[in-house]
Amino acid sequence: MRKFLVSIVLILLVACQPNHKPEVNSVYYEIYVGSFYDSDGDGKGDLNGVLEKLDYIQNDLGATGIWLMPIHPSPTYHKYDVVDYKDIDEDYGTLEDFDKLVSEMNRREMDLILDLVVNHTSSKHPWFLKAKEAHLNGKCDEVVECDFYNFSNERLPGYHKINNDLYYEGVFWGEMPDLNLDNPQVRENLLDISKFWLDKGVKGFRLDATTHFYAEDKSLNISFLDWFNKEIKNIKSDAYLVGEAWTGTSIIKDMYASGIDSFFNFSFSQQSGTINQAVNTSDGMRLAQQVERYQSDILKKNPNAIDAIFLTNHDNNRSAGYLLDLEKRKMSASLYLLMPGNVFIYYGEEVGLKGSGIDENKRLPMPWSKRGTGVTNPPVNADYVQDDYEYVKDALKDKNSLLNHYRQILRIRHQYPEISRGNVIAYDLGHKALYALEHDGNIMVIHNLSQDEIEFDLNHDKMVLVTGKAKSKENKITLGGLSSIIIEK
What is the DSSP-derived secondary structure letter of residue 60?
I
Residues 179 and 186 sit within 8 Å (Cβ to Cβ): yes
Please give the span between the terminal C-alpha atoms of the chain, in angstroms, as a whole number.
8
Counted residue by residue, the chain has a size of 489
Residues 194 and 203 sit within 8 Å (Cβ to Cβ): no
- Looking at 208, 254, 261, 283, which residue is catalytic? 208
Task: Judge whether 169 counts as a catalytic residue.
Answer: no
pLDDT the model gives residue 25:
87
d(CA 279, CA 286): 11
Nearest CA to 322 out of 280, 269, 271 is that of 271
pLDDT the model gives residue 12:
38
d(CA 290, CA 25): 24
pLDDT the model gives residue 18:
35
Q: Where do the DSSP E strands lie in 256-296? A: 262-263
What is the DSSP-derived secondary structure letter of residue 122?
-
pLDDT the model gives residue 20:
52
The pLDDT profile of the chain, 489 residues, written as one tens digit per residue, is 333 333 333 333 333 333 456 888 899 999 999 999 999 999 999 999 999 999 999 999 999 999 999 999 999 999 999 999 999 999 999 999 999 999 999 999 999 999 999 999 999 999 999 999 999 999 999 999 999 999 999 999 999 999 999 999 999 999 999 999 999 999 999 999 999 999 999 999 999 999 999 998 999 999 999 999 999 999 999 999 999 999 999 999 999 999 999 999 999 999 999 999 999 999 999 999 999 999 999 999 999 999 999 999 999 999 999 999 999 999 999 999 999 999 999 999 999 999 999 999 999 999 999 989 999 999 999 999 999 999 999 999 999 999 999 999 999 999 999 999 989 999 999 999 999 999 999 999 999 999 999 999 999 999 999 999 999 998 999 999 999 999 998
Nearest CA to 63 out of 393, 264, 330, 347 is that of 347
Q: Is 52 exposed, middle or buried (0-12, 13-18, 19+ CB in 10 A)?
A: middle
pLDDT the model gives residue 7:
38
Three-state DSSP at 473 gives strand
- Looking at 60, 97, 244, 350, which residue is catalytic? 244
Q: Which residues, listed in sequence order, are joined to residue 166 by a DSSP beta bridge?
A: 163
Q: Is 243 exposed, middle or buried (0-12, 13-18, 19+ CB in 10 A)?
A: buried
Nearest CA to 418 out of 436, 439, 401, 400 is that of 439
pLDDT the model gives residue 11:
37
Task: Judge whether 208 counts as a catalytic residue.
Answer: yes
- What predicted TM-score, i.e. pTM, was given to this entire model? 0.94
pLDDT the model gives residue 4:
33
Domains of the chain plus CATH, in order, are 24-121+182-420 (3.20.20.80), 126-169 (no CATH), 424-488 (2.60.40.1180)
pLDDT the model gives residue 23:
80
User: What is the DSSP code string of 328-344?
Assistant: HHHHHHHHHHTSSSEEE
